Structure 1
Amino acid sequence: MAAHTAEELIGRVRGEVSVGASGNRFLELLERGRIPRERLSWLAGEEYRIVDSDRRSFALLAARYPEPPSGAFFLTLAQGEAQAFRLLHDFAAALGLGEKDLHAYEPQPLAQAYPAYLAQRALFGTAAEVALAMLTNLEEWGNYCARTASALRARYELTDEAIAFFTFFADSPPDFAAQATEVVAAGLAAGEAPADLARAARLLHDYETAFWNSLATGLS
């Protein structure tokens, strides 16, 4: 019964997130080749802090919830973020940015709302909250990364190596959906309120939207 309830909740929240989704101004400009290279540096700088934070958040969740199905799920996500962090340096290098440049970059506050909220949930929330949030936002995030990779290749002539960070996130990890659903089901079976799980997913989606909006600030 719990697994069936989890599937229903996932479907409902996906629908709510989809209805509330807006356009992505940054990607629309990127696909037309109208994002200055300086603003691409923003993308690298923001992701530098986001990915490093998310890696720690998933590692914390794996430590807080080591038993199946949560432990292996979050450990896999942490390892994925570690791999993405290495790939991000190739994107930064293509823009002429080194480790010191990335570290010195001053992040935009609203662009960092997403990792800040994920870190909060990693510390104070539940495994099911985070699993539902990641699962319901995954398709949109993957699509955005695929579009980013395509635009960077076509409009900015970046190599496959340089855009590997984005192609990495364009596809979800094997069995991700099934594992995330198990974590959500376990949380519901333990008595977690569906409304609490849904709220975390909606907030995480809104904070991701804020990230993309921040990258487009001031551009026309």
Structure 2
Amino acid sequence: MTPTAQELLRTTAARLAPEPAANPLVPRIADGRARARTIAVLALEQRHVIPADRRSFQHLTRRAAEAKDLESAAFFDTLADGESLARERLTPLLDACGVSRAEAATYEPQAGCQTYPAYVAWLALNGEPADVVLALTANFAVWGACCATVARALRDHYGFDDEACGFFDFFAEPAPDLDRQALAAVQAGLDRGRITTAHLRYGRLLGQYEEMFWETLAEGDGNGDGGGDETAGGR
């Protein structure tokens, strides 16, 4: 029996959910043990991730539209717009972390943090749009939960105000319109026979690349490569 779009979204998210202990950094941020500099590096890496993902989502929008998959096109178009909003909210975060404009402009990103957007770009070129919708939706649930935890911790342990936490709040907030678009895209994919098992592979790799993002930051946090002698809360 063919599952409904809602069932497929739910089971895909469940199958791709990471192990509770998979993230080595968010728990350290949550209880204030992570270096303040690590938060700055996270923001600097996102300064490269966000525009890359935006271009990938724009390309997926065009591909989906050309394939007459207007439901998936609408989903990716909303994601691209969201990345533009997220980019605007990075500046207050960088300012709160004490990152100068010069450092932001010259920062060299780390390979382990940029594998995720590199794979999103691969999906933009090669993935069946409806399958990509499924994979991204499952991954966004994990990312959103991490952002919610980080946003709370930045207020509780690092003295960040609401504006500085806006980047993480943005991704942590419910997105009912995007959820409806994902549901419509997956249902249209099922109706047209465009959903394959590839979405599970896409989602698994997205999850692993996101783990690499956090692991790379955690390595810098643990060995002091993030810079300085400051500890959490000692900005």
TM-score by length of 1: 0.91
Q: Which among 117, 124, 127 is matched to residue 115 of structure 1?
A: 117
Q: Which among 96, 101, 104 is matched to residue 102 of structure 1?
A: 104
Q: Are 1:53 and 2:52 an aligned pair?
A: yes
Q: Are 1:188 and 2:190 an aligned pair?
A: yes
Q: In the alignment, is the contact (CA less than 8 A) between 1:118 and 1:130 conserved in 2?
A: no
Return the offset for 1:32: 2.2
Question: Cα deviations across residues 153-194 of structure 1 (Å, max 9, x unaligned)?
Answer: 111101110110000110132322221122123233333353
Provide the C-alpha distance between the structure 1 equivalents of 2:126 and 2:137, rounded to a whole number of angstroms: 19
- Aligned twin of 2:165: 163
Higher helix share: 1
Return the offset for 1:54: 0.8
Secondary structure of 1:157's aligned partner:
coil
- Give matches, 1:144-155, under 5 Å: 144-155=146-157
The Cα RMSD (Å) is 2.0
Structure 1: state its 5+ residue gaps: none
Return the offset for 1:88: 0.6
- How many pairs were matched up? 219
Structure 2: state its 5+ residue gaps: 224-235
Return the offset for 1:20: 4.6
Return the offset for 1:72: 1.9
- Give matches, 1:56-67, under 5 Å: 56-66=55-65, 67=68
The letter of the residue matching 1:55 is R
Q: 1:98 to 1:86 in 2, by over 3 A?
A: farther
Provide the C-alpha distance between the structure 2 equivalents of 1:43 and 1:84, rounded to a whole number of angstroms: 14
Return the offset for 1:109: 1.0
Question: Cα deviations across residues 43-62 of structure 1 (Å, max 9, x unaligned)?
Answer: 01111111111111111111
Return the offset for 1:91: 0.2
Identity %: 39
- Aligned twin of 1:175: 177
